[in-house]
Amino acid sequence: MHHEEQSFTLRFSLEARFPEEYEGDEDELVWTKDWETRVKPDIIKSIFHTLKFYPDWAARFRNRGMAASEEIEIVLEKDFSRPRT
């Protein structure tokens, strides 16, 4: 079977600003918890919700050894090997 692949990257870079008197690492990156617990899950749900409108694309997660806090890969697959109905 012939297989082709292409990548598209959507990258989020998280940044936080602190007052001048802040000396760094005092909060142990607590500010990222909102991203991990609310924002990121909502974005992922939104992506899969949108993909439901395109049933000829199958979506699934793929793990390439990175922690989910650092990378989430979503594979979209269009299968042309099956007969069209």
Q: Establish if 1 belongs to a structural domain.
A: no
- 52 vs 68: CA distance, rounded Å: 23
Please answer whether residues 64 and 71 qualify as being in contact, where contact means their C-beta atoms are separated by less than 8 angstroms. yes
- Quote the number of domains for the chain: 1
Q: Establish if 23 belongs to a structural domain.
A: no
Tens place of pLDDT per residue across the chain (85 aa): 899 999 999 999 999 888 888 877 767 788 899 999 999 999 999 999 999 999 999 999 998 888 988 999 999 999 888 777 6
Q: Establish if 5 belongs to a structural domain.
A: no
45: phi then psi, degrees, rounded to nearest 5: -60, -40
Domain housing 66: 32-77
Q: Establish if 38 belongs to a structural domain.
A: yes
pTM value is 0.79
